[in-house]
């Protein structure tokens, strides 16, 4: 598949591809795939004034994947598709009311780590309408051996 065959939205995400890193446990090369600053309406909050209403959350996810030992050949099927991250976020946010940003972050991380190439994931969830600025949670999780 050529880049011209990839839908424009996916092609834009491919353009901001990966940054190399090293696995702290063995020095294996890892690639980092990310979706940053994804803003959605969410039913989130523990207080009574947060029940039955939506508020904006901003979600950022970084995933470290094992580097491919085969050339990518500009083929989306040989990559970790950004849609894995986007779909995990949409599924969790759309699943109904969640009390805590910590819970939302944990559920997103668990879904992303279900992908066989995902090694570690960092998830940041920010509530944008709660206080001036943003409040939230950031977690890092690693695939269990």
Cα–Cα distance for residue pair 112/122, rounded to 1 Å: 10
- Distances, alpha carbon 9 to alpha carbons 23, 73, 85, 116, in Å: 30, 19, 14, 24
Tally of domains within the chain: 1
Query: Which CATH number fits the domain that encloses residue 134?
Result: 3.30.1130.10
Question: Tell me: the pLDDT tens digits for 33-91?
Answer: 999 999 999 999 999 999 999 999 999 999 999 887 777 778 887 788 999 999 999 99
pLDDT at 133: 85
Residue range of the domain that includes 40:
3-142
Question: Tell me: the pLDDT tens digits for 35-50?
Answer: 999 999 999 999 999 9
């Amino acid at each position: 598949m050529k880049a011209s065959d990839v839908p424009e939205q996916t092609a834009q995400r491919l353009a901001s591809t990966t940054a190399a890193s090293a696995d702290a446990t063995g020095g294996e090369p890892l690639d980092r795939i990310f979706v940053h600053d994804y803003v959605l309406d969410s039913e989130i909050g523990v207080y009574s004034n947060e029940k039955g209403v939506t508020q904006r959350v901003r979600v950022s996810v970084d995933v470290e994947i094992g580097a491919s030992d085969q050339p990518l050949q500009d083929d989306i099927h040989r990559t970790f598709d950004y849609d894995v991250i986007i779909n995990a976020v949409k599924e969790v946010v759309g699943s109904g009311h969640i009390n805590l940003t910590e819970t939302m972050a944990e559920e997103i991380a668990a879904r992303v780590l279900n992908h066989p190439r995902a090694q570690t994931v960092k998830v940041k969830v920010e509530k944008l309408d709660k206080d001036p600025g943003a409040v939230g949670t950031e977690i890092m999780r690693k695939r269990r051996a």
